[in-house]
Structure formats: C-alpha cells, structure tokens
Structure 1
Amino acid sequence: MIENKTSPWIFWIGFCLLLIPGLVHAYLLMPFPGSQDLNAITVSYYLEKIITPLRIAGAIMVLFYIVKYFTANTLKNKVIKVAALVFYLGTFYVSDVLYKAETMFEEPKTVSFANAVHNHVPESLVILGVVNNGVAKAYPLVYLGYHHKVQDNVGGEPVLVTYCTMCRTGRVFSPVVNGKRQDFRLVGARHYNAVIEDAATKSWWYQATGIAAAGPLKGSHLKELYYEQSTLGAWLAKYPGSLILQPDSHYLTDYNDLKNYDRIQAIDKDSTIKNKDTLVRKSWIVGVIVDKQAKAYNWRNLVKKRLLNDKLANTPLMVSLEKDSLTYHVWNRMVNGKELHFNLDPAGLLTDQETVSTWNWDGLCTAGVNKGAQLGKIQAYQEYLHSWRHFHPGTSFQ
C-alpha cells in the first residue's frame, strides 16, 4: 500500500527513458552479437537524435519522484531505486564514454609528416598512398586502423583518408559537401562498416561506399579520390619525395594492438580451418568496380599467381601483386586500341606477350615497342569478403 501511494510508475518510466534508448543505440552502433546484421541504420540515426530529449524527460520524472515521493518509500524500495540509478550511471559510462566510437578511436592529436630521410615508419608497413598536384603522401594502415580517419590536405586539396578495420578496407574521399569542406566524426558501425557524420547536415555516410545512408543527404555520394595500397618501400620507390604520416606518440599502445594487422589474415590464425584457401567471412579479396559491375579476386590465389589477365564489363584488366606479396595493382590492358596480355618473365619483370615490351610497377612501359605508354590505373580495394559481398551483392568472384 505504501509503495502504491508513492506512485512508483513515475520513477520507473523515467528510469526506462534514461536507460533503454541509450542501450539500444549503443547495441546497434557497436559490433555486439547480432547487432550488425540488422538493417537498422535509419532507426539508429533517428534514435540518436532523440536520445537526449528522452533522457531529459526521464531525468525530470526521476527528479520529480525523488523530491515528492522518495522519503515515503520503505527502506527496501529506497535501496532498489538507488541501485537502479547507480546501474544506469554505470551503463551510461559504458555506452556514452568508454565504448563510444569517438572515444574508442580518437582522431590524431598531432598530424605530422616526414620525408624519407627523417621518416620513422618501417618501410615494410602497408600504407594508403595519395598523389595530388605533384604532392605524394603515405598513410600507414596501423595508424589509420586505430584512428579510422585522418582529415588532411594533399597538394592544396582537402582529403578525408579513411580505414575500417571491421571490414578491412580503405577509402579516400573529398570532404567537400555542398561546396563546403566538412569535418567528419566517427558515429559507430553498421554492417561491420564504419559510419561517419558530416558536421553541416548531420548525414550518416558508409565508409566503404561513401554513400549517405541516413539524414538529409541520404543517397548522395562523397567524391572518391584515387589512392594506392602498397608497402611504404614500394611507394617510396615510385615517389621518393613522398611525405609519410608519422605515429602520434599519444597512441603508441593502440597502434601496437594492430601489429601485423596489415600482413596476417584471420584465417591464418584459425586452427579449425585446415584448407587456408577456403573463402570465409574474413578472407581478403581485391575488389574492382567497372561500369557498376563488381568483381572480387581471392587474395590467396593472387599471392600464388601474382598476375591475372581478366575482363570486367568488357574492360581488359590486369590484376597483379608485387614481389612483396602486399602491394597490388589493377590496370587497363588496352594500349593504343590494342588489348595486351601480360606475364612475369623469369626475372620477375612485367612484359606483354604481343610486343615483349617491359613495364614497371607503375604501369609505365620502360623498354620495347610501347616504350613511354602508360597503362590506365583502375581503383581497387582490399577488403573482407563479407563486407564486399554485402555492399556489392551482385559481385562475381575469381
């Protein structure tokens, strides 16, 4: 009877408004079991917009209850309600502080670059390389993998260099939206891919596609900028004057957690899988899109063969891997209106079968009939199989 006279429903409704929206939101935007398989990005988007008002309403109800009714509670009911509020504060710390994407993966506090002479990054590390207006910059994956994004300038143009470790893929975009450069924040993840938000419109963008999935600009595309993924050594061989992103001393422990991330597949560490050539969710592939047609190449097969002549959307392709087994390229095999077929000679040099011309690893013919010709570069992405398949459901495989 005493409990009924204290109108406990006021407290418990307020408590639910404080607790439940935040927990649901955190569940949907973090890789908890089952959460990433739900088609819930729109729910997540609008839920984030109303969490604060719901919490304010809940706090008002709880505060009203405490002022008006709390003293009339029995000792048992007082303890229960205090314990509930302590529980809420704990969940709030976990969902909004400890495991909030922006907190877990902070942006660099200091973004510094060095040339090859003053560089402290091992040349064996894999990087994303960007060239613009004669300026080359390299961004090591072990740093990008923690930060998820670096907002920078290359050759006087703004760039948004991104990397998602859950789907193992990088993208480089122009951060210009509706004519204005935007700052982006990391929101969380959906379908195991990082979601970022622009400051002006608050739209949510998938990192793997650059498509706005929710918000005022839903359906829009960020402009994608060409990049290459290679070892730093291979990159410097082509661009010796490149600047290299240096490690931020504030995050050395976080970087160390990604040690060997750029060279060892998850399948290599799984003792339950005997045939390591088996394609599983986290198998590496090289993905290519030509005229809206997508194709994925098995990384392990590429490591063995190192060079594949193929066609996609009637475009002749060469998919190749350098001797380091980490630096990959995709080029258009059409030169001066003729389709060329390539192979590696006994010395490991690229040659075409039609003219026996020699080509370097920048797609430039250095000797032979075609000397001076340049193969057209085609953007390609290293990615987990499950991610590529999700964002490109009609993809073909090789």
Structure 2
Amino acid sequence: MKDQNRTGIFWWGFMLLILPGLVHAYLLMPFPGSQDLNAITVCYYLEKIVNPLRIVGVLLVVWYLFKYYAKNSTKGKIVKAVVLLLCMGSFYFTDIAYKAESMFKETASAKFANGLTNRVPLNFLVIGVINNGVAKAYPVVYLGYHHKVQDQVGEVPVLVTYCTMCRTGRVYSPVINGVKQNFRLVGARHYNAIIEDESTKTWWYQATGNAAVGELKGKQLKELPYEQSTLGAWLQKHPTSVIMQPDKLYTTDYADLKNYDRIQIVDRDSTLKNKDSLIKKSWVIGVIVNGQARAYDWRHLNNKRLLNDELDHSSLLIGIEKDSLTYHAWNSTIKGKTLHFNLDNNGLLTDEETASVWDWDGVCTSGPQKGQQLIKIQAYQEYWRSWKHFHPSTTFWKDGGVTESEPMAGIY
C-alpha cells in the first residue's frame, strides 16, 4: 500500500504537468468538437493556472524521483522514464506546435510600397483603410496568416485583423481607455480568433470587437471603417494608396493561402448536388443597421450584382463589382428620397428616379444628381456559420426573398 501511495505522487505530478496544458490547447485551437463548446471563460482562467499547476507537478515528480525512483523495478524505471519523455513531447505540442502566437507570427515591421514599386498582384484581395487622406491596403493572404497587423494610417493607430476560420476582416482602434495597446493572438473560440490587450489582459472576439472575458468584459473595441476589394479596384479609387508588401520570412505560410479568395467550398464539393445549399462555410455579406443584422447569400447576390433592399426602415443598396470579389453597401437615400438602382450597359450604377449615373465609389458622375454621394454602410464578408453565431437574430436573404432564419446543409 505504501509503495502504491508513493507511486501516486509521481502520477499526480505527471497529470498536473500535461493535462491542464493539453485541455487548454484543445479548447483554444480548432480540434474536432472543441470550437462548439461554450468554454471561453474556462480557457481564460485555465491559462492563468496552467503554469502554477505545472510547477506543482514538477515538484511532485522531482520529489518522487529523488526519494523513491531508485527503489523501482527495472520495468517501473523504464515506464516512468518514457512517461517523462512524453511530458517533453506534450510541452512541444501545447506550447509551440499548437500555440496560436507561435503558429501565426505577426510581421515585426510591415513594409509598404506605392503603386509603382508594389509587388502584390492586382487581383489579390485587400482590406483598405483611409484616415486623414492617407490610404493603405493590406492584402488578405498576408493578413490571413498574421491574423493582425498593428499599424498607423494617417497618424491614427489601427489594428487591422483577418480571421480565415470565419473568413472576415475587421479594423479596430487599439486605443483602450486612452492608452494604445499591443495585442497578442490567443487562439480561437467558435472558429473566431481571440486577441488579448496588453494592459488589462481582456480577451476580445475578432469578429465583433466584443470583450468576452476579463477585466473589460462587455466592452467593445471601437470599429474603424474599411473596404474589402481587389487591389486593382482599390487603386482605381485610391491611386496614391500604399500597399503592404509580403514579409520574406513567411513566404511559405502565405503560399498556404493561395487561391483562398477564389472558389467557395460549396462550388468545389462534387458530392453536393444542389449548389444553392447553404452550408457552414457559405460566403455571405453581412450588414447591421440600427442593431438589426442581415446576411446576403454571396452566390445569389453575385449573380444579380446589384440589390435594392430595406432594413429597419433604411434603404440599402448592396453591390458586387465585375471582378466578383469587390463589394459595397450604401444607404440609397439622397435628400430624403429613396433611389433604386440598376446597372447600365457599361456596368455603372444608374438610378431609376433621375437616370443619373453613379460610379462604384457611390459618387454620381452625371445627371441631375451629379456630385451627390451615397453614404457607405460597413459590410462584412463572412462564413455563414460565423455570422449566424455572432448575430443569432439575423435575417437571411437569397434570391427569392428574406427569411427569419435559414438551415445549414453539409458538414463544412
């Protein structure tokens, strides 16, 4: 009995060394089933105690090895030696191989080029930001690996983010309570990246800017406007923009996202007979007006190119440009009058009410409305699974009308 109790010291130490770290890694990375659990609070506090528990585990194991290891049989010594080697492997697994900030490193110093010296292909998708007349474009294939770039645009600090698990970008102010913060990538919950600010150690959802757990729980990061478009479309509207260039240290990682923007899973899946099926990774455009959320089926909207809609008594115009990647959302009311739009033979917007012609920046270029500009509405491209999770009361549009909810098919 005494030998069993002594052996128990070793095994308790072993479990404290590996189990907390393994559970923490499982919950914060997209392993099967992990992201569907409501466990962000558990993750947050577990992270704080993983290392203290390991220290206790080390003390128990060292005590056992010092006091009792020599009394083990040869078999017992071999088993315990192998177990300790497994511990080392576990540390590599939880603290390096599957630790978000180790897997997806932020570029140390983002470099930019103007349109003349730029090396980024014009058909790449970018997140575009403008402040104080300064325009910058951040290619999604680079952001998708880094997850975030902390920068300044027009002397305004910005936190430019992109999460490939939910297929959405967001731009936030990194200033919290008057203090500019540095953020680290923690991991993911509900297939969305979690970031932590340096001062309060609060965890924030990338897709909403909502503080999920920590000192500032319930607060929101200030969202900054941005556009998602091809680089070519962005430069056409903002020719003096500078463009973030690839960091040579991460060339292989960028290559893993090749063609990330081009083809939906629903179109690649040969087993899915009905391509109109809504699956978890179907692309949608999401908008929020006065707290009311609506999602638009990307495939159906891309076929129409232009949609006149209304949400919470506000008139909307949603459009996708000819490149099938650049999208826009505007309030289509001018001087208290709602305008309805079509595409002319040149692919430009024309309103039915005055036959004025508008460009894809929402500016009227000819006709009675010349010089007027539609007010932009922030819109997001996102996987349906993510949009529905973070906006559970969203309505859904696809060709044929608006529904209160839409079931998901498939497993993706």
Answer whether TM exceeds 0.5 for this pair.
Answer: yes
User: Which residue is 1:300 aligned to?
Assistant: 299
Q: Residue type of the partner of 1:48?
A: E
Deviates more, 1:103-112 or 1:156-165: 103-112
User: Which residue is 2:281 aligned to?
Assistant: 282
1:167–1:387 Cα contact (<8 Å) kept? yes
1:163–1:170 Cα contact (<8 Å) kept? yes
User: Which residue is 1:48 aligned to?
Assistant: 47
Give TM-score scaled by structure 1 length.
Answer: 0.99
- Say whether 1:269 aligns with 2:268: yes
Distance across 2 between alignment mates of 1:2 and 1:335:
85
Deviates more, 1:260-269 or 1:349-358: 260-269
Q: Residue type of the partner of 1:108?
A: T
Q: Residue type of the partner of 1:134?
A: G
- Say whether 1:64 aligns with 2:55: no
Distance across 2 between alignment mates of 1:171 and 1:261:
18
Deviation at 1:109, TM superposition (A): 3.0
Deviations 1:314-366 (A, max 9, x none): 11000001111110000000001100000001221100000000001110011
Distance across 1 between alignment mates of 2:100 and 2:157:
24
- Say whether 1:179 aligns with 2:178: yes
User: Which residue is 2:95 aligned to?
Assistant: 96
User: Which residue is 2:400 aligned to?
Assistant: none
User: Which residue is 1:196 aligned to?
Assistant: 195
Q: How does 1:13-52 map to 2 (within 5 A)?
A: 13-52=12-51
Distance across 1 between alignment mates of 2:36 and 2:381:
22
User: Which residue is 2:213 aligned to?
Assistant: 214
Partner SS, residue 274 of structure 2: coil
Distance across 2 between alignment mates of 1:358 and 1:183:
45
Partner SS, residue 58 of structure 1: helix
Partner SS, residue 244 of structure 1: strand
Partner SS, residue 7 of structure 1: helix
User: Which residue is 2:147 aligned to?
Assistant: 148
Give TM-score scaled by structure 2 length.
Answer: 0.95
User: Which residue is 1:162 aligned to?
Assistant: 161
5+ unaligned residues in a row in structure 1: which ranges? none
1:2–1:73 Cα contact (<8 Å) kept? no
Task: Indicate the RMSD between aligned Cα atoms, in angstroms.
Answer: 0.9
Q: Residue type of the partner of 1:306?
A: R
Distance across 1 between alignment mates of 2:134 and 2:69:
66
Deviation at 1:2, TM superposition (A): 7.9
User: Which residue is 1:359 aligned to?
Assistant: 358
Q: Residue type of the partner of 1:333?
A: S
Distance across 2 between alignment mates of 1:124 and 1:252:
18
Q: Residue type of the partner of 1:40?
A: A
User: Which residue is 2:408 aligned to?
Assistant: none
Partner SS, residue 43 of structure 2: helix
Partner SS, residue 86 of structure 1: helix
User: Which residue is 1:109 aligned to?
Assistant: 108
5+ unaligned residues in a row in structure 2: which ranges? 398-412
Deviations 1:115-145 (A, max 9, x none): 0000000000010000000000000000000
Q: Residue type of the partner of 1:147?
A: H
User: Which residue is 1:388 aligned to?
Assistant: 387
Deviation at 1:110, TM superposition (A): 3.2
Partner SS, residue 394 of structure 1: coil
- Say whether 1:379 aligns with 2:378: yes
1:3–1:73 Cα contact (<8 Å) kept? no
Tell me the matched-pair count.
397
Distance across 1 between alignment mates of 2:176 and 2:79:
50
Distance across 1 between alignment mates of 2:265 and 2:158:
30
Distance across 1 between alignment mates of 2:50 and 2:158:
32
Partner SS, residue 286 of structure 1: strand
Q: Residue type of the partner of 1:315?
A: S
1:109–1:250 Cα contact (<8 Å) kept? no
User: Which residue is 1:344 aligned to?
Assistant: 343
User: Which residue is 2:330 aligned to?
Assistant: 331
Percent of pairs with identical residues: 65
Distance across 2 between alignment mates of 1:315 and 1:127:
28
User: Which residue is 2:123 aligned to?
Assistant: 124
Deviation at 1:285, TM superposition (A): 0.2
Deviation at 1:195, TM superposition (A): 0.2
Q: How does 1:215-254 map to 2 (within 5 A)?
A: 215-254=214-253
Q: Residue type of the partner of 1:179?
A: G
Deviation at 1:272, TM superposition (A): 1.1
Deviates more, 1:274-283 or 1:32-41: 274-283
Deviations 1:291-326 (A, max 9, x none): 000000000011100000000111100000111111
Deviation at 1:263, TM superposition (A): 1.5
Distance across 2 between alignment mates of 1:130 and 1:347:
28
1:364–1:374 Cα contact (<8 Å) kept? yes
Deviation at 1:396, TM superposition (A): 0.3
Partner SS, residue 14 of structure 2: helix
Partner SS, residue 252 of structure 1: helix
